[in-house]
Amino acid sequence: DTGVSQDPRHKITKRGQNVTFRCDPISEHNRLYWYRQTLGQGPEFLTYFQNEAQLEKSRLLSDRFSAERPKGSFSTLEIQRTEQGDSAMYLCASRSGGRAEQYFGPGTRLTVT
Amino acid sequence: QKEVEQDPGPLSVPEGAIVSLNCTYSNSAFQYFMWYRQYSRKGPELLMYTYSSGNKEDGRFTAQVDKSSKYISLFIRDSQPSDSATYLCAMVQGGSEKLVFGKGTKLTVNP
């Protein structure tokens, strides 16, 4: 069990550019989650996948955000036309069916300049 | 009113002290309760998980849930400098996938 991994760990981009993050969940975890965390706050839910199906999206996930999990394994989160307000830590988590605990990855820290 | 309230601290204690961390919540449908530890610039690490009301102990950590008061606690015994981190409470409704977090409490344990 290697844990949840995320790539890159840190991304600096200019306003208006597109960025894509990757998450590899714990193997055999069929549920995958994306959260966003800003300084001094707890993580906030963005979206959730069960296998390859995206089953829930938060209102925080504007039209500039899109997430995929094409084969029910890794997931990507893309932000188009980044804004300074998108600067945050983007966290991925996974869990297995029948358990409520979610296990988090190390996060991708996004800085938009 | 936020669904989950947690005093952000900061909390500073001497090594060996008993630490008490707390959260209150407003949604009576929450059924699963978790505590995460987060070191600076790292992802949250799951410490404790409890279902419904009651106590759970794991080593130096004890989690308590009082659903009648909508109040959860984490106790750390014999605190160590390595316990210095931000502690996040999180909870989820049965049938929901969305964890709802408190803001986190920043703890410093001084040697």
Write the pLDDT tens digit of every residue in B90-109: 999 988 889 999 999 999 99
**Which residues of B are less than 8 Å from A104 in CB distance?**
36, 43-46
Tell me the residue type at A77: L
Burial of A101 (0-12, 13-18, 19+ CB in 10 A): middle
pLDDT for position A1: 55
Name the 3-class secondary structure at A84.
Answer: helix
B98 touches chain A (CB under 8 A): yes
pLDDT for position B52: 83
CA of B59 vs chain A CAs: smallest distance (Å): 19
| Strands A31-37 and A44-50, sheet pairing | antiparallel
pLDDT for position A106: 97
B88 touches chain A (CB under 8 A): yes
pLDDT 10s digits, A56-92:
999 888 899 999 999 889 999 999 999 999 999 999 9
Name the 3-class secondary structure at B47.
Answer: strand
> Residue for token digits 């844990």?
A3
Question: Within 10 A of A39 (CB to CB), how many other CB atoms are there?
Answer: 7
Is B99 close to A31, i.e. CB distance below 8 A? Answer: no
Contact status, residue B71 vs residue B54, Cβ threshold 8 Å: no
pLDDT for position B94: 84
Contact status, residue A56 vs residue B97, Cβ threshold 8 Å: yes
**pLDDT of A49 over the 60 cut:** yes
**Which residues of A are less than 8 Å from B8 in CB distance?**
40
